[in-house]
């Protein structure tokens, strides 16, 4: 029985297990000569003091007999100099540039690293590319090897996998694989839009106006009136940058009411394009030469659906109609009264209601009776009368 309380055969068996594992990892076969000198006549490992732990005893065995004078490439054959895709630091400085006294003494750090992983990478990989305002979580947390193989890879930049498969290790793939896919996402070209380590822009975008690297800025943001999200380069407010089940990569079905209050689009009567959600029947989504992002000036826009001959061409044309100011009487979205009228007393917005109280030449009338005698748009008779 040994002084440390373990029989010599236990230490021998444990050492053999370690050597066997190393051989299985690619070291090749080990002979009994590998253990020569590992034990002295008393059965203690060479250099092992009485009371020393079994773990330190095994480390002493390894240091004395197996790995001390062996080249790393003897076991780690995939990392030999000249290997395709090898980390350049291994070619230049060897394994000792990152690992110290591997296998020959107890580990101070994982894999006998000479420093923490991030500190190892910094001497070569540093600067604004890694330390800018917005940092990718793996880079910020020193998890370089979550994306890169530190030794050898068949992929560029020593990546463990090609994008987007590499990105999907953290980012859920479902968000990139919906019915309509943005071409960079479909192609796996994540780096066309995002920086991998750090950058000055939110979401690690390569440019605050990254969309305009492909989409013509003048055709989207070059008009007299520019939609607020476009002006702020907030394309993602309306469009999903990766994929969507909706056309144009839209993020929602009733998209406009996410910013525009829905109560402005409800009332006693609702304009058909509003009711059907066809906002772009009248408005441009990005930019326009006309106010309110209209596709065309009034009344031309209205005449896209309404027959112009019903509003113009007769002897007498109501002033708002003649001036093309349809919205002085009608709401373009939803009216408080029928026919999209702004109110039930819309006529009295211009005509003095006191003149219709029955004390003057006009009969006393309710507002809805006005159109019983008068055509609100045009007539061949004076005072827009419908008949003699």
Structure tokens at 80: 């030999």
Task: Give the pLDDT confidence score for residue 52 in this predicted structure.
Answer: 62
Structure tokens at 206: 């390569």
Beta strand 180-181 with 225-226 is unpaired
Q: Please state, in angstroms and rounded to a whole number, the distance separating the CA atoms of residues 97 and 78.
A: 17
Report the percentage of the chain scoring pLDDT > 90.
61
Structure tokens at 342: 């702004």
Cβ atoms of residues 273 and 281 within 8 Å: yes
Closest-CA residue to 98 (of 62, 123, 75): 123
pLDDT in tens, 156-202: 999 999 999 999 999 999 999 999 999 999 999 999 999 999 999 99
pLDDT in tens, 29-54: 444 444 444 444 444 444 445 666 66
Domain ranges of the chain: 8-70, 125-253, 255-388
pLDDT in tens, 334-366: 999 999 999 988 998 998 887 777 676 666 666
Give the largest CA-CA distance in the chain: 135
Cα 150 to chain centroid distance, Å, stands at: 27
pLDDT, mean of residues 289-297: 96
Place of tokens 């996410």: 258
SS3 197: coil
Task: Give the pLDDT confidence score for residue 28 in this predicted structure.
Answer: 42
pLDDT in tens, 223-234: 899 999 999 999
The three state secondary structure string of 322-362 is: HCCCHHHCECCCEECCHHHECCCCHHHHCCCHHHHCCCCCC
Residue 237 has pLDDT above 80, yes or no: yes
- Residue 128 gets the label, from left (phi > 0), alpha (psi -120 to 50) or beta, of alpha
Q: Please state, in angstroms and rounded to a whole number, the distance separating the CA atoms of residues 256 and 285.
A: 10
Structure tokens at 371: 């159109």
Task: Give the pLDDT confidence score for residue 38 in this predicted structure.
Answer: 43
SS3 250: strand
pLDDT in tens, 77-120: 888 888 899 999 998 988 989 998 888 888 888 899 999 888 89
pLDDT in tens, 116-127: 888 899 888 888
Residue 146 has pLDDT above 50, yes or no: yes
Neighbours of 275 (CB within 10 A): 13
Task: Give the pLDDT confidence score for residue 46 in this predicted structure.
Answer: 44
Task: Give the pLDDT confidence score for residue 133 in this predicted structure.
Answer: 95
Structure tokens at 258: 């996410």
């Amino acid at each position: 029985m040994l002084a440390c309380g373990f029989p010599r055969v236990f230490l021998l068996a444990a050492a053999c297990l370690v050597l066997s594992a190393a051989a299985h990892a690619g070291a090749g076969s080990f002979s009994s000569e590998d253990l020569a000198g590992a034990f002295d006549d008393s059965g203690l490992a060479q250099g092992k003091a009485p009371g020393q732990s079994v773990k330190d005893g095994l480390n002493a065995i390894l240091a004395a007999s197996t790995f001390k004078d062996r080249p790393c490439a003897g076991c780690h054959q995939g990392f030999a100099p000249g290997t395709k895709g090898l980390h350049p630091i291994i070619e230049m400085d060897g394994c000792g540039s990152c690992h110290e006294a591997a296998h020959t003494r107890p580990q101070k750090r994982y894999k006998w690293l000479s420093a923490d992983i991030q500190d190892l990478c910094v001497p070569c990989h540093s600067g604004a590319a890694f330390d800018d305002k917005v940092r990718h979580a793996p880079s910020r947390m020193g998890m370089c090897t979550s994306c890169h193989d530190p030794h050898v890879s068949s992929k560029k930049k020593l990546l463990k996998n090609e994008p987007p498969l590499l990105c999907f290790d953290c980012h859920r793939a479902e968000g990139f694989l919906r019915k309509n896919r943005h071409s960079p996402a479909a192609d796996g070209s994540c780096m066309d839009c995002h920086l991998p380590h750090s950058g000055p822009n939110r979401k690690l975008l390569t440019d605050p106006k990254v969309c305009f690297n492909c989409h013509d800025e003048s055709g989207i943001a070059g008009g007299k009136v520019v939609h607020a999200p476009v002006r702020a380069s907030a394309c993602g407010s309306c469009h999903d940058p990766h994929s969507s089940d909706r056309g144009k990569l839209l993020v929602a079905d009733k998209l406009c009411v996410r910013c525009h209050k829905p109560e402005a689009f409800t009332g006693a009567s609702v304009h058909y394009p509003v009711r059907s959600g066809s906002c772009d029947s009248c408005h441009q989504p990005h930019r326009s030469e006309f106010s309110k992002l209209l596709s065309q000036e009034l009344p031309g826009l209205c005449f896209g659906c309404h027959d112009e001959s019903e509003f113009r061409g007769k002897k007498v044309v109501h002033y708002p109609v003649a001036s093309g100011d349809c919205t002085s009487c009608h709401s373009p979205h939803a009216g408080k009264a029928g026919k999209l009228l702004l109110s039930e007393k819309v006529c009295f917005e211009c005509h003095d209601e006191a003149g219709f109280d029955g004390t003057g030449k006009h009969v006393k009338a309710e507002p809805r009776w006005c159109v019983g005698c008068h055509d609100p748009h045009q007539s061949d008779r004076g005072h827009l009368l419908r008949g003699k």
